Amino acid sequence: MEEHVRAILAALGEDADRDGLLKTPERVRKSLEFLTSGYGASLEQIVNGAVYEETVDEMIAVCDIEMYSLCEHHMLPFVGKAHVAYLPNGRILGLSKLPRIVDMFARRLQVQERLTQQIADAVMHVLEPKGVGVVVEADHFCMRMRGVEKQSSYAVTSCMRGRFRSDPRTRSEFLNLTGQRKPPR
């Protein structure tokens, strides 16, 4: 990967051997390995047995989960927040596992639409709850730094499964909990 980064620098008209760029290929490699570390994670590793039998029957939500990802079209960042909720069906998940699930899918080359669905489907798979709701709000640097160059726009995607999809009251409660706050800046 480092040789490819050197080639990219050369193609840009840079001298990869100048002081400021000498370690750039290594830094880029390490950065990309970290930013795409979700490929090396599995749902089983993330959950790690933190599923508990419980009679709770009210909505459980973790909101404002910070997330960072790379757009698969331009490899530029998109950053924002995910809101994840579920209706238990006799089992609950350790609360820290929801942000870890978000990170596992966000730390890949992504599109926000797929990311939102992957989070919902993972929670459905692990818990088999009565329903899952996920909302992701994100700023896309491919829209800020290039192309349309719109600084104030952000994207909101949602994925509803089970009762979050079929019951308008459940969906409304979830959307009220997330608050559809101000942009994720």
Residues labelled as active-site residues: 71-74, 112, 140, 142
Q: Residue 64: which H helix or E strand, with range? A: strand 60-71
Number of H helices, E strands in the chain: 8, 7
Q: Output 94-103 pairs: Cβ under 8 A, ≥24 positions apart.
A: 94/50, 94/51, 94/52, 95/60, 95/62, 96/50, 97/46, 97/47, 97/48, 97/50, 98/62, 98/65, 98/123, 99/62, 99/65, 100/46, 101/43, 101/46, 102/65, 102/67, 103/38, 103/67
Can you tell me whether residue 33 is helix, strand or coil? Answer: helix
